[in-house]
Structure 1
Amino acid sequence: MASGTAYRCMQPDNAVLNFDPDPYQRRPPVVQYRAPPKRTSRRHARSALSICRLPVEILHEILLDLDLISIGTLREVDTIMRRVADSLPPYSLLRSLASDTIHVMEAVECVSYFPVRRLFAEFCHPYCRTCRDFGPFLYLPTLTRSCYKCNLLRPEYELAPLAEVFFRFGLEAQVLESLSAIRKINPPRYWLVDLAQAKALGRRIHGNSRATKQVHKARVKLREIDYERPIWQFERTQSRDIQCKRPWRRLINNSPSTAVAVGSWRLEATAAFPYWDRKTQTLEPGAYCRACTYQWEQGNINDWRRLGPVGGSYPLSKEAAYRAFLEADLPEHFLHCPAVKANYSFRTGRMGSYGWDGPDFIVHPKNGNSI
């Protein structure tokens, strides 16, 4: 184990969804979940008494299977329902400790997709579901905790516009509820869906991948006919000496899942998501190695060895700079970190050039055996 310098992100990477994503369309603050004044009618009194007869454990089990919007609606019924909802620990913890993430989920219109039970399970799970690194982010289409590297490189985190996915995999509007569509925050505000979900849905509807491709080819043929029809009509009018403007021929985008297209939407359905340690009752947003970040920001890299999401070179130093850790795991990282061994002087050079890092702090091994 070794000691080293770490920091926490004050502002997540600009590529992920932020709490105030659209400064050009600011709206007045909305007070959410405000319960109305207590009602004293006999009907409400009887319903309140009926609810109070149920054990709290049963009420909590029912509430855990509701989404945040549904629980918020129940809180507006009366003060008794508000107290019942507020007594649910997962709901109260998420509202108080992960409010920024919830606001992002509301902005992209996916907060009603998932029950509180599932969201809280991810809140209490520290590691990326795809690898074993600490995951400071939440991938919203599948509600899974994730890390920066997997969001950037892994196929499980590919996104595409809803209209293009429907065309590509032969889907219809009736199956929209089977996809967790995310509304893009920045203009143009179209819907994005997880590509893996769309592929699986296409196979389930059409039987297999081959049948899905056949449906796609048929749709391409129909689209080509629709595009060719104005040209054919124009040529027909020309033969009759009728003066008219030649129609514009649009390009046909048959494959939205190309590397360039997929790369352009990555991280647009990912939000910062802290980890709640139930054992220690502490909130952990993740900590970063200052030496790794310094090495990347200063351009001290010579490891352009991996292909990135758009086909270019991808340095391992960038992966190291954007990797988050649990604070307790940092001493082991410091022991083997090449950037720490380089012994950089952090006082020189431009610090925080991307504006997303906070103040430094020293992390020591808990057992005190520091190198």
Structure 2
Amino acid sequence: MDTVTSRENRSATEYHFLGEQEDAIIRATAYHNKEYDLSVISFPSRTRNGIRRSVSRPFPRAPNASLGTLDRLPLELLVYVSLHLDIYSLFKFRQTNLRSRQVIDSLQEYRAVTSHGLNPLYALLRTQLATYVSLSDFYNVLCTNNCAFCGEFGGFVFLPTWSRCCFECVKKAPETQMQTLASLRKQFRLTQAAISKLRCFKTLPGIYTMDESTYKSRFKIVPVHQAMLVSGKQPQAGEQPPTPRPIYRYNYMASCALPYYERRSGRVEYGISCAGCQLFRGKVYAQGGFLEHFKWCKGAQREWEFRVGVKRSTRSQRNGGYFRRKY
């Protein structure tokens, strides 16, 4: 049962609408909260446009050099190898010559990633986490819509483990808690060998959290959960985990917005929230989930009827008539 519609905002009866009204209902009663996207790692549009030109535009001329012994492989095997290259190696291979660029650019998975995942793609390269994520890994998470930790719609990805997550889990899930390397090294007495097993990286300068805090300096952060596993200091049953006080801003510095790509239809979803809910406004839905929510949400239904009423009223007045909404 949807938490939002389980209280006083829940309609007594299910609201019925026609299939052709779905898009109009979503436009009228739902919105995408861009503040969530900007509170994590994000890059300005001019940066994304520059990246898009360099990673997705094929050269107009035909290749005049081969891949050497790699060209002896069957095309299916070459595609398989390309899909399982990590992102860093994939771009190195793509820069070899025009033939390698042609091979990579022809992959459906690569085109989807460079079309809809530029922010996290650039974030992986800038944080040097790109060696841990293959093209296949990237594409599979891009085509997954549920949070790996709570099962709700997830419009974000946690970079150190490359896991789809929702905004609430970015803040609160135990698996997404981040701390500075210096703090965890001191607390868990991590050796250099232990640190080498962690996905630690330097933060990127930018504006983070819903409070829009600006950070210009770079420092190393690491997942607390990984540090606990490596150190062997897992708590016993009933004990509190020996983790430092959560500092949520570090979690934002390790996450990035990632839309959901429906591979069959090619539809892209960024996640939408209900404009009619006064409480729980932060809950994010996929389109199908929102339409189910709409059937029982009185606030969303009022928004829809108001929008329809305004449009009908305008048309009626033009025709010399008068329309009154009924509740």
User: TM-score by structure 2 length?
Assistant: 0.70
Structure 2 residue 45 is matched with structure 1 residue 17: no
CA RMSD of aligned residues (A): 3.4
| Cα shift at 1:154 | 2.0
1:1-371 alignment to 2 at 5 Å?
A: 2=15, 5-20=29-44, 32=54, 45=66, 47-48=67-68, 50-186=69-205, 187-203=216-232, 209=234, 257-259=243-245, 261-292=246-277, 295=278, 317=279, 320-337=280-297, 339-340=299-300
Cα 1:13–1:84 shift into 2, 3 Å? closer
Contact 1:160 1:257 in 2 (8 A): no
Q: For the residues of structure 1 that align with 2:223 and 2:306, how far apart are their CA atoms?
A: 40
Question: SS state of the match for residue 80, structure 2?
Answer: helix
| Cα shift at 1:328 | 1.8
Higher RCO structure (Cα 8 Å, ≥6 apart): 1
| Cα shift at 1:210 | 7.7
Cα 1:108–1:337 shift into 2, 3 Å? farther
Question: SS state of the match for residue 324, structure 1?
Answer: coil
Contact 1:98 1:273 in 2 (8 A): yes
Cα 1:20–1:175 shift into 2, 3 Å? farther
| Cα shift at 1:88 | 2.0
| Cα shift at 1:62 | 0.9
Equivalent in the alignment of 1:307 = none
Question: SS state of the match for residue 112, structure 1?
Answer: helix
User: TM-score by structure 1 length?
Assistant: 0.63
Contact 1:160 1:256 in 2 (8 A): no
Counterpart of 2:44 in structure 1: which amino acid? D
Equivalent in the alignment of 2:3 = none
Contact 1:8 1:287 in 2 (8 A): yes
Cα 1:177–1:61 shift into 2, 3 Å? farther
Contact 1:161 1:191 in 2 (8 A): yes
Cα 1:167–1:70 shift into 2, 3 Å? same
Cα 1:256–1:268 shift into 2, 3 Å? farther
Counterpart of 2:284 in structure 1: which amino acid? A
Q: For the residues of structure 2 that align with 1:282 and 1:189, how far apart are their CA atoms?
A: 36
Contact 1:35 1:78 in 2 (8 A): no
Alignment coverage as a number of residue pairs: 266
Equivalent in the alignment of 1:360 = none
Contact 2:87 2:131 in 1 (8 A): yes
Cα 1:280–1:344 shift into 2, 3 Å? closer
Question: SS state of the match for residue 131, structure 2?
Answer: coil
Cα 1:209–1:277 shift into 2, 3 Å? closer
Counterpart of 1:258 in structure 2: which amino acid? P
What fraction of aligned residue pairs are identical, expressed as a percent?
Answer: 24
Contact 1:138 1:146 in 2 (8 A): yes
Counterpart of 1:263 in structure 2: which amino acid? Y
| Cα shift at 1:338 | 6.0
Q: For the residues of structure 2 that align with 1:57 and 1:130, how far apart are their CA atoms?
A: 34
Question: SS state of the match for residue 185, structure 2?
Answer: helix
Equivalent in the alignment of 1:214 = none
Cα 1:176–1:65 shift into 2, 3 Å? farther
Question: SS state of the match for residue 156, structure 1?
Answer: helix
Structure 1 residue runs of 5 or longer lacking an equivalent are 212-254, 296-316, 348-370
Question: SS state of the match for residue 273, structure 2?
Answer: strand
Q: For the residues of structure 1 that align with 2:107 and 2:196, how far apart are their CA atoms?
A: 28
Question: SS state of the match for residue 42, structure 2?
Answer: coil
Q: For the residues of structure 2 that align with 1:74 and 1:325, how far apart are their CA atoms?
A: 38
Question: SS state of the match for residue 321, structure 1?
Answer: coil
| Cα shift at 1:209 | 4.0
Equivalent in the alignment of 1:217 = none
Q: For the residues of structure 2 that align with 1:158 and 1:58, how far apart are their CA atoms?
A: 39
Counterpart of 2:244 in structure 1: which amino acid? T
Q: For the residues of structure 1 that align with 2:82 and 2:299, how far apart are their CA atoms?
A: 48
Counterpart of 1:190 in structure 2: which amino acid? F
Asked which structure has the greater CA Rg, the reply is 1
